[in-house]
Structure 1
Amino acid sequence: MSINVLFSARPALWPIYEPLLTKGLSGMDVTIATDLPPERVDYVVYAPNGGLQDFTPYTRLKAVLSLWAGVEKIAGNETLTVPLARMVDHGLTQGMTEWVVGHVLRYHLGMDRHITMQDGVWAPDPPPLASQRTVCVLGLGALGQAAAGVLSSLGFNVIGWSRTAKTIPGIRSLHGPDGLRRALTQADIVVLLLPDTPATENTLNAETLALLPKGARIINPGRGGLIDDDALLQALDTGQIAHATLDVFRTEPLPPQHPYWAHPNVTVTPHIASETRPETAAQVICDNIRRNEAGQPLLHLVDRDLGY
């Protein structure tokens, strides 16, 4: 029996993914299209901006394969009753790791200060060694583990935190509410790579920001909802937080009138920390389809109760 794959994502992506998916599924009797009768569809390659919301008519559906690492916009969809796999792509992971490590080093080495020192004053102030700087990575999924591992290899004292216990070689891992408090009290730099769920909303709020050592720095390439914006702005104004580099926001694009744009201690980047790379993402999708058709378990399945 032939396999039918529906591509439901931003239309501009179809000319890019169509040849990649076709090549990745070569040798199989497969039809890949953007418009198929719902009752004939076996797999959906999915992104929220593709418009598909009601999965009820897809009576033959075997799985939904997300092109996005974040699945908060589909995990709670009550019409979706088949397995949902999120995107875990080594290209995305590599891009995120490079962005995170770059901004940690920017803070660690004091690059912002050196860039703005144009007054002719010679003021040597070398940074400490990485081993004297504690970086706390909140979220120990694929992205968090990769970033934490590279930071640790550079000599940083890395603490990882997750909601549930995890054991990661070379990384001091804490978990649960008490572990979060212990991690934050030691952190010079905080990196947020948590998923966006009701349990993680406002992980950094007035109470948790106050736990950080005065003058700590924050890097958020995870999700906008992880931070209470009002609390962060207040902490920046008082000097409790020295600087924040933010790549994700509750509303995107970030509105021109938002206080983050004008704040002297905020760096805004336009959601560029990492992108799904079509070449590697298509291979992840194709590998999962081949696995499922061969009777092997799907990879990167989402726990619908946890939301990731």
Structure 2
Amino acid sequence: MIFKKKEKQKENKKPKVSSINPRKKLVLTLWVFLGLSFSFAIYKHFTAIDTHTVEERIYVEEQLIDTNSVENFVRNFAQVYYTWEADNEESLEERNSQLENYLTEDLHSLNSVMIPNDVPTSSSVQNVQIWSVTESEEDNQYNVIYSVSQRITEEEEDEQVIESFYEVTVYEDEEKNVVIIRNPTLTTSPTKSAYQPAPLENDNSLDSETREEIDEFLSTFFSLYPTASERELSYYVEDDVLPVINQEYVFSELINPVYIQEGEYVRVSVYVRYQDERTQADQLSQYELLLCQSDTWKIKE
């Protein structure tokens, strides 16, 4: 009986069921994701291309062009082109022959008949001025504006001086040989600009005593300046900002001095009147100076 009872108890016992906590699943998933992310980061670190931004700066260097040969060529051409003698066939032939050295064949042919053999006037060149030389849009070509002053004579008693402005185009080859490819063409003369610089005005920041000190300093300096040596200038001027001129000028006065305080410095704008001992005429110089003061006043720039 005892045996049977134990067997019955054994038969009635419920089986044990194991279960997984759902929170553990979430934690496990997060750890796997973190591991993959870390692995990917290491991979990217060793396989990434090392790049950096490079700032590129382009410097455009302005190139100076020597146009002396072009200017001299045009100046010599004008001396020939605007010179002739009245009713002198031989003189005109000589002129025509010389023009071959300056003009293209087509231009020379056109100009050979522009002045008739019986022309009643004579022309001599008084002055030729080159006003501008600019590069043309076409390669190796220059546009030149110049003026010519001519003395025109018709008979002995009728004489006048005229001035005219012209423009030509000059071609220059690789060997620096030049030729005029555009005939002298009338152009306008430069005129006076309407520009007027803004005048400086005293800012009244200096007291009267300081102004008097500066007046006295400048009067003393400009009295000595025309004949002062470099050593003498060093007592009044820093770093040779004013050159030695060594001329016979006599100081007369300061005209319209303007003083402006700029921190520890004083900006000065002034006209200085001198008398030229050689011509006995007055000369007016204009200066823009920067003064500083330690023990005494000095011109800094």
In which range does the TM-score fall when normalised by the shorter chain?
A: under 0.3
- TM-score, normalising length from structure 2? 0.17
Q: In proportion to residue count, which structure has more strand?
A: 2
Q: In proportion to residue count, which structure has more helix?
A: 1
Higher relative CO (CA 8 A, sep ≥ 6), structure 1 or 2? 1
For the pair shown, the structure with the greater C-alpha radius of gyration is 2
